[in-house]
């Protein structure tokens, strides 16, 4: 899958987030910043992202996902 296709899928599920997608299509690097992650632990954040890509992971079009998730406040402190 192309990075833009993956980004579109994520934006459908995580509408008010800033999303960056890289990688070669099967191995995907994702950075997502949004208030949707507020109050969620790392596992719950990952579950939100994986839910958006579940079909693509199941059919093998996405093989591996490396993700970083931040609230907007965390992102401001990070940068």
pLDDT at 67: 96
pLDDT grade, residue 79 (50/70/90)? confident
Query: Over 90: is that where the pLDDT of 48 sits?
Result: yes
Residue 41 has phi, psi (to 5 degrees) of: -80, 175
Q: At what angle do helices 3-13 and 42-58 cross, to 10 degrees?
A: 130
Spell out the domains of the chain, with CATH numbers in brackets: 3-78 (3.30.300.90)
pTM attached to this predicted model: 0.90
Among residues of the chain, what percentage have pLDDT more than 90?
Answer: 86
Query: Over 90: is that where the pLDDT of 70 sits?
Result: yes
Phi-psi region of 63 (alpha: psi -120 to 50; beta: other; left: phi over 0): alpha
> pLDDT of 11-30, one tens digit each?
999 989 999 999 987 799 99
């Amino acid at each position: 899958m192309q990075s833009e296709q993956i980004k579109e899928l994520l934006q459908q599920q995580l509408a008010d987030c800033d999303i960056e997608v890289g990688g070669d299509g099967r191995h995907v690097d994702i950075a997502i910043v949004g208030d949707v992650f507020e109050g969620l632990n790392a596992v719950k954040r990952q579950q939100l992202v994986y839910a958006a890509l579940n079909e693509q992971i199941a059919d093998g079009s996405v093989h591996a996902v490396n993700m970083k998730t931040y609230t907007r406040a965390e992102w401001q402190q990070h940068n």
